[in-house]
Amino acid sequence: MHTGTNLIQFLADEHRRTASVCPDVQALLGQIAVSCKEISNAVNQGALSGVMGSLESENIQGETQKKLDVITNEIFLRINERSGQLAGMASEEMDDAYTIPDGYVRGKYLLVFDPLDGSSNVDVNISVGTIFSVLRYEGKASNPVAADFLQPGTRQVAAGYALYGSSTMLVLTTGHGVNGFSLDRNVGEFVLTHAGMTIPAETKEFAINASNQRFWEAPVQRYVSECVAGKTGPRGRDFNMRWVASMVAEVHRILIRGGIFMYPKDTKDPAKAGKLRLMYEANPMSLIVEQAGGLSSTGRQRILDIQPEGLHQRVPVILGSRQEVERVIGYHAEA
């Protein structure tokens, strides 16, 4: 594979090479890519098109919605409901499963997404992204219900994210490694620029919202304090810390140069198992990270093995460079 291959060519090649990514999935991923191009435009226009700021409304998680949360959700629905490949959709911004309107062709797949992850950053012009996960619809009814979406992450057919940063990128896995495409705005295509992305096994960089430190459990306290202790501590080397508050940007950095990202279980709100959502944040990102040679865990369990219990279920997330994630899992086991 060489630079210059566009996404559609890449998917056709991948199908020939691996006998995966059947034409239906190729078509669906093509439409998801179109949705991400539209979102990239909307995010890029920023204040020029009056889309900054918040609405009065809250989503199912009780979070105030940004105008762009709602606009980007509608872009995803509008484009993908007509793909002909979907039986239903679900997203961070909708309480229940979304039914494909009457009159549109229904397909065999389910699409779960977070249309604008990290949207608290959008007003301050920091990178945001879109995360998506494709599942098979195994049911018989013409309209799937929430229970049809509740499949472990190991059953994802494809997963990916778009990052709206200094350039727009689409990073994708169909279970045969991870590849990154950059949006060439001159021709309006995603072009393969990062073939076969892999995460270095070791790292000197960690990402965690340190303002929650007093709520962390002992294994995470231990891991972070050992990193912070640097050269003279038990790790014998200095670490660097990053926190963008935008999971897509965080995972992308890890794919490029290694690192560990944690939004762990904490005691801040005992009713919540973690902050990030399993179906449309943790699962797709975990598949990407594992396919790039990294690991993803709650600290106690592989995320991709979790049997989901709800569309908006939250989980602790610890992902990134293999050796570091193994270390944090080890600290949980010892505790």
Shortest distance in whole angstroms from residue 13 CB to ligand AHM: 32
Q: The tokens of 70 are what?
A: 């709602």
Nearer to ligand AHM, 263 or 331 (CB): 263
Nearer to Mg ion, 62 or 101 (CB): 62
Residue 152 φ then ψ, to 5°: -60, 155
- Choosing from 13, 63, 123, 217, the residue that interacts with ligand AHM (CB under 6 A) is 63
Task: Map residues 22-51 to x or -, x wherever contact with ligand AHM holds by CB under 6 A.
Answer: ------------------------------
CA separation for the pair 72, 45 (Å, rounded) = 13
Q: Which of 143, 156, 185 is nearest to 168 (CA)?
A: 185
Q: Which residues pair with 173 in a beta bridge?
A: 159, 178
Residue 199 φ then ψ, to 5°: -95, 125
Considering only 3-11, 74-82, 142-150, 239-247, which stretch makes contact with ligand AHM by CB under 6 A?
239-247
22-51 b/e (C-beta count within 10 Å ≥ 16 → b): eeebbbbbebbbbbbbebbebbeeeeeeeb
Name which of Mg ion, ligand AHM, none residue 209 binds, using a CB cut-off of 5 to 8 Å depending on partner kind: ligand AHM
Nearer to Mg ion, 10 or 261 (CB): 261
264 part of the interface to ligand AHM, by CB under 6 A: no
Q: Which of 22, 21, 14, 284 is nearest to 132 (CA)?
A: 284
Q: How many residues of this chain bind ligand AHM (CB under 6 A)?
A: 13
Shortest distance in whole angstroms from residue 228 CB to Mg ion: 27
Shortest distance in whole angstroms from residue 242 CB to Mg ion: 18
Shortest distance in whole angstroms from residue 269 CB to Mg ion: 17
Shortest distance in whole angstroms from residue 124 CB to Mg ion: 17
Show Cβ contacts of residue 232 under 8 Å, excluding neighbours closer than 6 positions: none
Nearer to Mg ion, 14 or 114 (CB): 114
E runs forming strands in the chain: 54-58, 64-66, 86-91, 98-99, 109-117, 128-136, 158-164, 168-173, 178-184, 189-194, 205-208, 240-241, 260-263, 276-277, 295-297, 314-315, 317-320
266 part of the interface to ligand AHM, by CB under 6 A: no
Shortest distance in whole angstroms from residue 164 CB to ligand AHM: 13
Residue 201 host element (H or E) = none
Name which of ligand AHM, Mg ion, none residue 63 binds, using a CB cut-off of 5 to 8 Å depending on partner kind: ligand AHM
CA separation for the pair 30, 36 (Å, rounded) = 10
E runs forming strands in 4-124: 54-58, 64-66, 86-91, 98-99, 109-117
What are the Cα distances from residue 239, in Å, to 207, 208, 229?
11, 13, 9
Shortest distance in whole angstroms from residue 243 CB to ligand AHM: 7
Shortest distance in whole angstroms from residue 318 CB to ligand AHM: 12
Q: Map the footprint of ligand AHM across residues 92-131, applying CB under 6 A.
A: 92, 114, 117-120
User: DSSP letter at 3?
Assistant: T
149 contacts 187 by C-beta, under 8 angstroms: no
Q: Given the rule CB under 5 A, which residues bind Mg ion?
A: 114, 117
Nearer to ligand AHM, 92 or 290 (CB): 92
Name which of ligand AHM, Mg ion, none residue 263 binds, using a CB cut-off of 5 to 8 Å depending on partner kind: ligand AHM
Residues that bind ligand AHM (CB under 6 A): 63, 92, 114, 117-120, 209, 245-247, 263, 275
